[in-house]
C-alpha cells in the first residue's frame, strides 16, 4: 500500500512541477475574438478604446448620453472636464 501511495505521489509531482511547453501558434486578435464569441463590431470598439489610450488619447463623450465619442490627447483634456470637445485630434 505504501509503495502504491509513493508511486501515485511521484506521478502527481511529475504532472505538476514540470512547466508546460507551449508550441501552438499564438492566435491573432481575430482568431481569439472568434473563439470567445466577440463580434467584429465589438472587437473594433474595444480596440479603439485600448489603442486610443495607448497612443496617449483618452475617450471623451461630446454632449449628453447619446453624444459622439471622440479621442483627444490626454494633455488637451486635462482641466477641461465637463466642457465640450470642439474637434477631433
Applying CB under 8 A, the residues found at the interface with other proteins are 9, 12-13, 15-17, 19-27, 29, 32-33, 35-38, 42-43, 45-47, 49-51, 53-54, 59
Cell of 11: 506521478
Nearer to other proteins, 48 or 76 (CB): 48
Nearer to other proteins, 18 or 83 (CB): 18
**Minimum gap (Å) between residue 61 Cβ and other proteins:** 10
Cell of 13: 509531482
Residue 56, H or E segment: none
Conformational region of residue 79, where left means phi above 0, alpha means psi within -120 to 50, and beta covers everything else: left
Amino acid at each position: 500500500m505504501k509503495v502504491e501511495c509513493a508511486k501515485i505521489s511521484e506521478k502527481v509531482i511529475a504532472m505538476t512541477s514540470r512547466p508546460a511547453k507551449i508550441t501552438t501558434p499564438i492566435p491573432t486578435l481575430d482568431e481569439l475574438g472568434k473563439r470567445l464569441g466577440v463580434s467584429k463590431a465589438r472587437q473594433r470598439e474595444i480596440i479603439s478604446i485600448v489603442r486610443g489610450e495607448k497612443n496617449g488619447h483618452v475617450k471623451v463623450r461630446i454632449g449628453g448620453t447619446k453624444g459622439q465619442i471622440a479621442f483627444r490627447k490626454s494633455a488637451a483634456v486635462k482641466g477641461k472636464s465637463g466642457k465640450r470637445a470642439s474637434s477631433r485630434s
